Every structure is written in C-alpha cells, then in structure tokens.
Structure 1
C-alpha cells in the first residue's frame, strides 16, 4: 500500500556561469498558490472521502463481488491521486527554497493533515491481504477491469507475511510524520543551510561540490578541505540522524519479521534478493577491470604518481574549461532524443516550453537533481542545479529520460504507473546513453573523442562501481547499528572500508574524507535505493547492445516497456529483447560495455 508522504526524488549532482535564460517551475498545473480554493476543496474532499471509504468498506472487503471490489480499488486510486497532488505541490514548492520557514510549515501541515485523513485507510491493505487466494483469483477471473490491477495486488500481497495487527499499522501510519519524515526534513534543512568557505568565498554545498570538477587542482583540494571541515563540524548531528533512522528501521523490520534490512527495498522494487546479489557480486568482481584500471590510466594522464580524492572527478589536462549554455544543452539532448525517435523529443518538448523544469542554482534550493512524477493526471517536474558543465548536460538527459518515462507510464493510471526503482532508472540512463553517443559521433578529433569517452567511463563508474560501494556501506552500517549505537568514528571507518576497495590502489585519502558519507541523501531518504542505479545502468547497457545490433522493432518495444510502468515484472519487460536479469551472465554483458570503453582509451595511449 502506498505511503502518501513517499514521493521519490532522484538525486544527482551537477555543476557553471553565463548560462542564458534558465527555466523555472510553473506549479499552477498542480495549484495556483497555497491559498487556492481548489487546494482547499481537495483537502476537504480528501477528509470526507477517506472517512466514507472506511465506513463503506472496513470489515466488508471479503464480502464484495468483483464489481464491488473494482469500485473500492478505483475509489482508493482517486484518493491516492488527490493526496499525491497536494503533497507534490507542497513538496516541490518546499524544494525550491528549503530554508523558507513558511514553505516548510506549509509542507509539514499538509503532511500532518493527510496522515490524519488517511489513517482510517490503513485497514484496506491489511484486509485485502487477508482475502483467500482462491477467492481473489475467482474475482480476477470474473472481471477483466479488476484483473488489470493484479500487479498492484501482487505487490501488496508480497507484504502479507510482514504485516502487523491493524492497530499497530494504524499507529505506525499515524506517527510517521514525527518519525523518519521528521529526520529527513532535519537532514534536508541542515544540508540546504550549510556554508563552505573556499579561499575566502562563501559557497553552498552544490557550488562547492561543483569545484571538484575544476581544472585547477588547488581549487579542487580547497573545496575538498572546505567540505571536510563543515561535515566534521556537523558530524554529530549526521551520526545522530543515521543512528536514529537505522535503529527505527531495525525495530520495524524486526516486528515485521523482515529477514534482512534490505528485504523491504527488494519487495518495493519487485526484484528478487538473488538478482541484486548477482549484480553486486558481478560489480565487485569487476572493480579491478573497471575502476582500478581506469583510475590508473587517469593518474598517468594527470601526471600523478598517486591520486587524491579531489582528483577523482578532475577534467583531463587537455580538456578545455567551457560553459555549456542552456540553449546548447537543450539542443544537444533534444537532437539526441529525436535521433532515436521523433516521438521521444515530442514528449520531452513541454518540459522546456511549459515550465516543467526548474534549472537555476538559487539560495536555499535543494541540492542535486530529480524528476518527480507528481500524479498520473498532471505531469512530471524536473529539478536541476544547472551550472553549465558538460556533465550537467548528461544530468539533463538523465532527468528528462525519467520525465519521458513518467509521461508514458501515466496512461496506466495512478496505481499501475509507479515504476520500481530498479526499472525507473532505465529511461534515464538510456537518455544519457543516447546523448553521449550523439556527442561521440560528432567528435571532430581523437582528443575530443578521448575526452568524451573518459567522461562517460567516469559517469558509468560513478553509477555502477560507486553505487555498489555505497550499497555495501549501507549493508555494513545497518548490520553494525543492529549491534548498538555507532559513534561518528565508527561510521567513518565503515565508509573508508569500501572506498579503497572500490576506487583502487592508486588513491590516497586526505584526512577528512572519512566524513563524506554524511551528505549523501539516499542513505537518509531511501535506504538501499542506491543499487537501483547500478541495476539501471547494467540493464541499459544490455538494452543498448540489442539496439546497436539493429533490432528493427526496438523503438516500439522500448516505448511499450516505458508505457508499462509498474504493470509488469522485469522478466516480462526484458523478454521481448531476449534479456533476463536473473541470469548472472546478464550483468557481465552490461559491465563489458564499460570495459570496452576503457579498452579504447588504453588503445589511444599506444
């Protein structure tokens, strides 16, 4: 069953100047303003409808015929849409200026009201899961419209062994705004308010992280030291947030009889634990062939015996520092999308023309980037912190890919449009790959090709190697927290235990780097989210290989996959392409694409 406060925001980081006219969100497609009569109307409707839904159905689901159950599901879906619309508006408005106390209060008040209104609905998922299997199968066989929702029911019933008593479930729902949601908000507001002194200039987190991709090595070092100093100053707070959230999760998992801390995420992603384990093992085994080999090559290009952490995302020495203005970024991505299929560019166009993107870096704005689907009756919104780096073009391509996916999946309706995180990364990473290939094809010199290839390899390492290292860190963190409270030094040590292993022997780690776990939002907002990036990258690499082989129906199959949203399991979605993610060799196919790029870079040295 859906948690109305959980709307996934996909975070990346970006980085520039003289950028042209950067777009801002127009949120009026949701609501005109916080006092809009439509918002007040929807809030009142929600309160009344939730109460009436409970009155109509609590204790009665087992007695409904197929038509009656379909009506209940459709009424629940409408509640989901209205609650999601309100929280999308409140959340997006808040993320524009997280330091604005009025916006923070408005979002918190909306959360409180909706949590109160929807508490009477907790019975629905619990009671549904108590329906006899044979009885439910009979209802689905009797009504095709009801049977369409079977994937939703399957995901709900996967939680059946882990649900608690009705009273406990209502309690957990009721107190959710002062549990994880409150700690999430504390983390977000603290991060948005941090200031970093870099050579006498006061910068935000986003602008400081951006310096890590500067050509000037001294600037990269200064930014790293500034980040480390501020993280250290706040380390007790960040350790408290992680300790509390991990403990809260451990308690709830124990009550729900979840076998591992990761189980809940796997169930939400509709992916088998052994598939994730196969992915993780394949990537870890490939560390020497991927990151270790690439960074040794990069050290040579940079003229360094040893690499420091601030060299990891450094541009190559021959790379010119240039700003990509907004119009060029838009043209690059749209041309790449249109080159794949004009339909893809057509779907992407309103993001640029209709106020669906918020691109500028502004004081108090949430860091990173995300694509938020809102609800199936409106449209997605994309947030960027666009600073004009070439990699920001890739971030635009990535988030726009999410947006296209969300637009296409919306036709499934609210309950079926939501895509598991593992598949949600498919269109975004594919959008990046299209953009990269378009830029690579346009390279005029060997040097330009080398710069593009190296940038793509680094992005793929960040998406695959780095995220699996993050996943291992989280696994260690939750396992250690189950044994007792963790000091900041304990968490620092866990962080460092995955860094050398994943990045390779060429790296030294400057004092202070051990605190860099503290700013990564996924650990706070969505435990174990991070493996979805590696899953998506591996899946897309395999998909792209099929595309390159010249499958004549590839575009139509691809759009069908995106339109499916959450209505099909990954096995069904990949079958038309002749792919199977449960085959351990599947992941090696994806990783071999990265190896191939590194092979080409090494060959350029000869």
Structure 2
C-alpha cells in the first residue's frame, strides 16, 4: 500500500475563498465588527447592582465575548497567514490594519468590562462567582479583575488602546513591511540570487563555511543598510510602552511580561541563575565544535553549522512520516492530530521566494483548525521546527471543549507543548541513528537548540532588559543598540565566540512584537519545563498522554507555579527542578563530547 503524499502548501481556501480579495472574509469582518459593537454596547449599558443579580448580566456578556472573540481571532489568524505566504500581498496589509482596529475596539470593551468587575467588593464578587456556570472561569475572571485594579481608569485605558492603532501597533506593521522588502544576495552555482530573509537564514545551516560566511556578510550589510529605520521603530515601540507603564505607575519593566506569563519574578531569577551556573558544558561543546571545524573559536554564523559535511536531505514526506511515527510512540491522540494536519493541508512549508521568515502556528477557533508556517529545505533542523509547530497545534487541539475564557494560555506554557513535541522527534532521531557519524550529526542538531535556548535567548533577555533601562533616558542610537547587543551576546555565550551579530536586535522579529513584551524568556522556560514533563513521560510510558493533556488543559487556568505543583509536584521557585532540567540538556553534551574525544 502506497503512503499518502502530503502537500507542502497549505489550504486557506477552506477557511475563506479568494485570499486577500475574499468576499467571504469581507463579510466575516463586517460581522465581527457588529459583534464587537454589540458586546461594547452591552458592557457600556450595564449598571451593576453589586449583588448576585449581576450574575445574569455577566454570564450574557461572557457569551457575547466568546462569539466576538472567536470571530476576531479567526480574522487575525487568516490575515497573518496571507502576509506570511506572500510578503508582497499589499491587500493583506490593508486587512491587517482593519483587524488591528477591530482588536483595539474589542480590547477597549474588555477594558471597560474589567473596570466594572474591579468595582465589585470582594464579598459581592465571591457571591457572584458561586453561579454554577461561572465556577470554571473563576481564575480567569478574578485575574482580569485584579489586573484592572492595577491599571488606569477605563476611559484612560480606552484612549491608550485607540492611540495604539496608529501609533504602537503601526510601528510593528512598518517593521514587517520593511523586512518583507529586504533581499539578501547569495551566490549559488555561479549565479547571484536575491533571497528573502527566510531563505537566506536557512543558509546558516549550510555545511560549507564559505557559504555561511558570505551570507552573513551580506546579511549584516542588508540589516545595517536599514538600521536607522529599525532603530527608530524599536525606540518608538519601547517609548510608547514605557510611557504607558509610567502613567500606570509601573516602575518595573518586567511587571507586565511576568503577569502575562502568570509567573513570579523569583521563578524567572532562579531559572536564569541555574542556567548561568551551568554554562561551562555548553562552552566545552562550542570549543569542541570549533576544533572540529578547524577554528580557534566559532563565529555567530557557525552556530547552526551541521556536524560534518553531510549533504543528506530529509524530504518533506519523510519528515512528516517520521514525526507521525514517533508521536505515535507517545500517544495516539498526538499522532492522530499530526496526521490530520498533514492530510488536511494545514501546513505551509514550501521553499519559495516571497515568504516571510521564521515559523509559527496559528489557531482558527471557529473552525477548530490550526495553520503552520515555515520554510522547509530538508535539514534535520527543519524536521524539528515542523514538530515544534505541530506541538503548538496539539496544545490548541487539547484545549477543545475548554471554556473560551480559559484558553488564553501564556507564551511560556505555549512553548512547553511545542518543545515537548520537538523533544520526542529529536530523541527518536538520535536513538535511530545507524552510524556514529549520523548520531553525532543529530546530537549536534539537538545541542544547537540547547545553545539557542540557554545562550541565545539569554542574550536577548539581557539586551532587552538593559535596552529598556537606556530607553528611559531617551532614544537609543544604532551604535548604542549594537554595543548593547554585542555585550549581551558576549556575556550569554561566555565570550566563547570569535565574531558576534551586533545587528541581531534589528534582524530578530521578536523585539518588534507588540502583543507580548519580552518575547524571549518564555522560550527558555518552556524548554526546561517541558524537559521535566518529558522525563515523567519517559518514566510512565505511553499511558502518560492523558496526564499530559490534563496539564495542557490547565495551562490558562492557574499560575505556572501552581501548574507545576499540581501536575509535576515541584516548586519552580527552588533550584532543584531547574538543575535537573539543565542536567538533562548537559547529558546530550556529555555524550557528544565523549563520542568526539580524541583516542
């Protein structure tokens, strides 16, 4: 029996026919606008009685919130897919502006609702939550209420939200527009091709150092040519955010990202402390890799270089089947989800010009589907990325049936599901290696991700923390941004590299995202947290899938500390958990160093 051949191009037509010119989507936006207006009107017309009679109004409002929220999320996901698949789709950028406006209006209405909730006394609030239909959303509603108490008045927050459409969020849109126009000249077989940022980035995993070095030189040049624009953009984004914080009386820049991630500062500090104390094995790996490549030290463009000069490629079909097969060893539901995603063309993986860089998974709550975006060129790293994004999709799949208000899981636990899926595939690849050489190649690819999550992400965190302190005193120049980034990279990599990437602040999309501040440390948290889950899964075997799904379903209904205590029986504010997780990473490095030791 011949296996199904999967398409590497996604199907958006089943969602809305006609792409950015879709009449169906235009109607969807109109209906979304109407539902948001309806929700806003009901919020504004609600005069709480401050008694249990308010339960009925709140329940009705939550139903309206869900209808409008799902419509808006569906629209945002569709526009994001249109922009990613074709950076030249100008109509998609127009649609993005419309969705941003709708989102701002929705957030304004939500802000007004939150202010009403904050006005209830604790006694009355407790009585309201006793309603059967509200008990399951007690955490989410109380969280919104507490956050509202920490903000400005609903009128002031509404002004901030409205001004953000053409201010704050538009700067992020400008960044996307600028990046979409960047072309990196790369010589291939005597011909110079103009590659998109996403295509050029894949060249950093080339086995040929001359290719990597040449691409990096042109990469730096391209970002450097636009550095003034990117610096202006970053300064205005951060300036807007800092001014909002100042008006709210928030002195700590990490207050919002920690709150969004439902995480204590103590937990974050403990995690970074343990990582910093255990970086020597990572440095040993980098030094061993440099020696293998015939270098004194690695440079930035060598970090993703494969071990050995293998030219072997993993086809999209082979990668998909490998993921399905190994997900099945963990559980039938995870494997079934992956199969569904491949069969129903939820994945855009084709290697072609004009696509946006990077990868993502986005959810369509009305359709109960996901879409995954990446550029697949046949490397082992591509297979890992594909598994990673499928992990995100499975998280959404696991949340089906959960109240819509309880589906807003934060980035740190979102990265847990993705990294868990990635670990399954990476471990399987290493174990299935047929030769020592193949095992080393796969181990190296796995360790590269450890280096990225414990060193690269650390550099991003250090840079962003210091940048915000500088920004409080005025705009930060390109030169200063470069200095801050290079200093952060040297510290995070323990000065183990020969050449760094000072313009990384410009080339990394994550610094320009407006939806979530500090789009960095949650990756590392998710990686190490997933290792703790993964260790339990290995210990308990195939039957662990139900426990895993139970954990995923709780990810938006409690703090991460409570989540870990309930499902893993650990205390995240203590070093023990993090040390065990980091040592699991070090085990891979130890094996690599042993296998590459000179006899």
Residue 127 (structure 1) aligns with: 116
Q: How does 1:283-362 map to 2 (within 5 A)?
A: 283-290=275-282, 292-317=283-308, 319-362=309-352
Shift of the 256–308 alpha-carbon distance from structure 1 to 2, 3 Å rule, reads same
Q: How does 1:392-431 map to 2 (within 5 A)?
A: 392-431=382-421
Query: In structure 1, which of residues 186, 196, 199 is the aligned counterpart of residue 184 of structure 2?
Result: 196
What whole-Å deviation, never above 9, does each CA across 1:16-54 have from its counterpart, x for those lacking one?
Answer: xxx984222325335665311751552353255235423
Answer whether contact 2:82 2:89 (CA < 8 A) is retained: no
Answer whether contact 2:262 2:558 (CA < 8 A) is retained: no
Query: In structure 1, which of residues 146, 155, 158 is the aligned counterpart of residue 134 of structure 2?
Result: 146
Query: In structure 1, which of residues 588, 602, 606 is the aligned counterpart of residue 579 of structure 2?
Result: 588
Shift of the 211–165 alpha-carbon distance from structure 1 to 2, 3 Å rule, reads same
Distance 1:186 1:219 in 2: 30
Query: In structure 1, which of residues 77, 81, 96 is the aligned counterpart of residue 70 of structure 2?
Result: 81
Matched, 1:262 2:248: no
Distance 1:48 1:248 in 2: 27
Distance 1:499 1:66 in 2: 53
Shift of the 87–61 alpha-carbon distance from structure 1 to 2, 3 Å rule, reads farther
Matched, 1:465 2:455: yes
Q: How does 1:470-489 map to 2 (within 5 A)?
A: 470-489=460-479
Matched, 1:529 2:519: yes
Shift of the 62–524 alpha-carbon distance from structure 1 to 2, 3 Å rule, reads farther
Shift of the 212–551 alpha-carbon distance from structure 1 to 2, 3 Å rule, reads closer
Shift of the 46–85 alpha-carbon distance from structure 1 to 2, 3 Å rule, reads same
Shift of 1:551: 6.2
Query: In structure 2, which of residues 40, 45, 61 is the aligned counterpart of residue 72 of structure 1?
Result: 61
- Partner of 2:502, secondary structure, is helix
Matched, 1:165 2:153: yes
Shift of the 28–73 alpha-carbon distance from structure 1 to 2, 3 Å rule, reads same
Answer whether contact 1:70 1:145 (CA < 8 A) is retained: yes
Shift of 1:392: 0.2
Distance 1:117 1:428 in 2: 29
Q: How does 1:502-541 map to 2 (within 5 A)?
A: 502-509=492-499, 513-525=501-513, 526-541=516-531
Matched, 1:186 2:174: yes
Answer whether contact 1:408 1:563 (CA < 8 A) is retained: yes
Residue 430 (structure 2) aligns with: 440
Shift of the 416–121 alpha-carbon distance from structure 1 to 2, 3 Å rule, reads closer
Shift of the 583–25 alpha-carbon distance from structure 1 to 2, 3 Å rule, reads farther
Answer whether contact 2:39 2:61 (CA < 8 A) is retained: no
Shift of the 94–312 alpha-carbon distance from structure 1 to 2, 3 Å rule, reads closer
Q: Which runs of 5+ in 1 are unaligned?
A: 1-18
Q: Which runs of 5+ in 2 are unaligned?
A: none
Residue 273 (structure 1) aligns with: 265
Residue 28 (structure 1) aligns with: 14
What whole-Å deviation, never above 9, does each CA across 1:420-474 have from its counterpart, x for those lacking one?
Answer: 1111111110101110121122111222212211111111111222112211111
Query: In structure 1, which of residues 225, 229, 245 is the aligned counterpart of residue 237 of structure 2?
Result: 245
State the TM-score, normalized to the length of structure 2. Answer: 0.92
Shift of the 237–304 alpha-carbon distance from structure 1 to 2, 3 Å rule, reads same
Answer whether contact 2:511 2:518 (CA < 8 A) is retained: yes
The number of equivalent residue pairs is 583
Shift of 1:239: 0.6
Q: CA RMSD in A?
A: 2.2
Query: In structure 1, which of residues 359, 363, 367 is the aligned counterpart of residue 353 of structure 2?
Result: 363
Shift of 1:418: 1.8
What whole-Å deviation, never above 9, does each CA across 1:194-225 have from its counterpart, x for those lacking one?
Answer: 01122433211112111111111111110010
Shift of 1:56: 3.7
Answer whether contact 2:348 2:373 (CA < 8 A) is retained: yes
Q: Which has the higher contact order (CA 8 A, sep 6+)?
A: 1
Shift of 1:550: 3.2
What whole-Å deviation, never above 9, does each CA across 1:255-292 have from its counterpart, x for those lacking one?
Answer: 112231111011111111111111122212222232x1
Shift of the 456–316 alpha-carbon distance from structure 1 to 2, 3 Å rule, reads same
Matched, 1:206 2:194: no
Query: In structure 1, which of residues 198, 215, 223 is the aligned counterpart of residue 215 of structure 2?
Result: 223
